[in-house]
Chain A
Amino acid sequence: MKAGSTLGACAALVRRDLTLVWRRRGDAANPILFALIVVALFPLAIGPEPEQLRRIAAGVVFVAVLLAGLLALDTLFRGDHEDGSLEQLVLSPHPLSLMLACKIAVHWLTTSLPLILVAPLLGELMHVDATLRWLLPATLLLATPLLSLIGAVCVALTVGMHRSGMLLALLVLPLYVPVLIFGAGACNAAQAGLPFLAPLLWLGAALVLALVLAPLACAAALRISLS
């Protein structure tokens, strides 16, 4: 008898989740469409003056990306819970937190990374200046993994419940607010010509902390949800 190695199990899980996203790629495009629509509506609603748009650009893009991420968050464990593969994952002989970290990584890669890639376009719709053209995607690169990790813990807590959408939003949003404040704050400071490194470093520190703790919390929450 040959037991699978943990690394092999991680690879199998990543490959399966990527295949699944590819098979449902229509759904995977939803967050991008959502963010594009939200940002594109702002110039229509408040008028096309570049100066006015530029002032709120970072905030609007951040909120759009955050809400788009929230839309996709529910899919993280929902399907696996419904078809029983989550149960199989919990019963596998590998560390559950590591397996979940892989799942979260794939989820971030397929929902948030595309958003970061279209962030320059979103910025262009809001007439951002030269600094923000690179700073906005860079800040999102720090902020979105943090959002995914925090969100995953909340999803793991609510996955056993039916129609948990509203509860999930209530749980997640207070935790998302600091990320929003630091992320959009860094961009706003840069735009005003102020030092912006400190909020970015805070985001980085929080990300490191979440990378270590969130998968563990996620595994504990999931075991509670399954019982």
Chain B
Amino acid sequence: MIIGKSIPRIDAYDKVTGRAKYTDDLCDKNALVAKIKHADAAHAVVKAVDVTEAQKIPGVVKIVTCFDVPRHTFPTAGHPWSTDPAHQDVADRNLLTDHVRYYGDDVAAVIAEDEVAASQAVRAIKVEYEELPFVLDVQEAMKDGAPQLHEKFPNNILSHTQIRKGNYEEAIKEPGLIKIEGWYDTPTVQHCHIENAVCYAWEEGGRIHVTASTQIPHITRRIIAQALGVDWGKVRLVKPFVGGGFGDKQDALYEPLCAFLTTQVGGRLVKLECSREETFINCRVRHAIRYHLISWVRSDGTLVARKADCYSNQGAYASHGHGVCAKGMNSIPQMYPCPNMECDSWTVFTNRQVAGAMRGYGMPQVTFALESHTDDICRKLGLDPVAYRRRTVMPVGFVDEFSKNELYSDTFNQVMDKGAEYIDFERKRKEYENQTGDIRRGIGMSLFWYNTAVWPISLESVSCRMVMNQDGSVQLQLAETEIGQGADTAFAQMTAETLGIPFEKVHVVTSQDTDVTPFGTSAYASRQTYAAGMAIRDCAEAFKKHILEVAYTYTRMQPYLMDIVDGNIIRTTDGRVLMTLAELAATKLYDLQNSEHLTMQKTTQLKSNAYSFGCCFAEVEVDIPMCSVKVLDIINVHDAGTLINPALAEAQVHGGMSMAIGYALSEKMLYDEKTGRLLNGNLLDYKLSTTMDHPHLEAQFVENPEPTSAYGTKSLGEPPALPAAPAIRNAILQATGVAFDEVPMRPHLLYRKFAEAGLL
């Protein structure tokens, strides 16, 4: 068994020695450099762009303004295309815009011989604006008379969906019910992947070639073609090693503009690389979602009725749009079933940064709201948070009607058992009751809900190709991208397992090239081991069958009497090695009568989805006078089904926990209310958490193999980022008695809330 082994990742040595080439490493150093003129108004119409001075700067090759680009719009979301227009993403983008919708929107682009000339020219461009009123707050933007961002969306509402179950209004009339109500607010945050967005493009052979740091090569190619209005086959996209994406690169960023710019300079090579500041301002962010939750419970805690209003701040353009907020809302009735529910979600345009996909896709937000609210219920009723959740959480055997997802195992109890034992929950919970003094400790926990892949909302299609070499080794090709998470290593393990060849004999083609790589929708929705796993198994089983049929010619044994084990063709009846795969591959390829290059390709469509659940327990120390929280200990427990590579799984959890600690305590994009300008779009003022802000990060697992999955796996990419914020919040609540209703719980907020509570 190669599944379940912590094999070192196949790209480890190349990455740590610097041999792995990322987009910027590969770009020819003679490339022209493109820089963008960003708007210095939050909402405005561009009246004129004066490039006279900019054009005089030595080294400037070409300046393209918002008046020079195609007028048709295109969508950017990294979703599978839909041939049904009703299910297509909102096409609201131009390559450059004369209707500025956020501070920093793209007005013009300079192409120059080098970065210095390009930067000087950008500074020399003069833009004349007619300024419009702007709006940053999601609920303000919904009001009548609020500044309108897009004509087709009155009151800025991109979408509104709802859930109705039972009869909420009737149910709350039951005498003796206790009402628990709370507002919970989450911030706009950025992914902060280490490699900024970067791409380069040139024309060759009448086609546009683009190399880009993207999670989604085939989708980005499609969007480039749509944006430029050319046939999809006219565009080729190559994805080299990627330094992280976390969903930001599950969107077309500047690839369409860069592809357009090369066509404006005779097909010369043009590079467009975002600075860190541009990654904050001009790439994507996590939706800030505000929740209003009302629960009606009996004195024993039984949920009778629940109402949830969710307000999602979309920022200036649709990008991934309503799917993010809707996903979170849809989890509420599943997570804690309740007979009477009214849930509403609104996704609303504002003049903030454009929100798109980000690790967890709406779930860190709703997890903070719902798990904080659950502890608020426990506190009001004097119930133990673990015991209460055991009683009220989704029961074993629960089936979601829409996705057909089923909770097959007693996952929630199992993960809570593990987490509580590790952190010594019961004892510490008692010990930390009724503290006084400046420095206090507390312990808290939270659960989380997640699913796997995007079926049945969108297409799930993965193509897999295996090509055998003369030595019996295999190239594995998938469009499901390695972006740092270790997917290639897991894919190699799966291939080796099913095909029956040694791990070392699997060569994963880590770079995707849309000219060569078979179609797949790539890295998002924590779908890689689940979706690609199915395609790998499908392809490997078919390939094995074919190989054994070919082997029949040379071994004269019936295919059903043979198998491939450890790279050998064996006879299953007695285990005898009949020939090696290397012998077979070479013999067949060079067969003078009947040559064949052994290959297999399959397209596998998924029509299933899988739950992936877990929990977090956190212990904190709060220094009240210093308005400071320190996480002393923290554990995530995940049931991600079978682990393909436990060490990689653990690393994935560590990364998510780190992200979640920043979400809980420090990260927030701040806006100037007067201008709408982002105040802290850099890594100094945006307080990404550092290793010094983390305690030891404990990652544990419960492995209930997922029955619908080819290798028993389900999602683990995004879930680690979900539960820490409410667990930390609930720990602070225990320590101080202060119930925080927003993240991040940074010192500013601690100061305000502690002062209000009379603790300072």
B is bound to A: no
B interface residues, Cβ below 8 angstroms from A: none
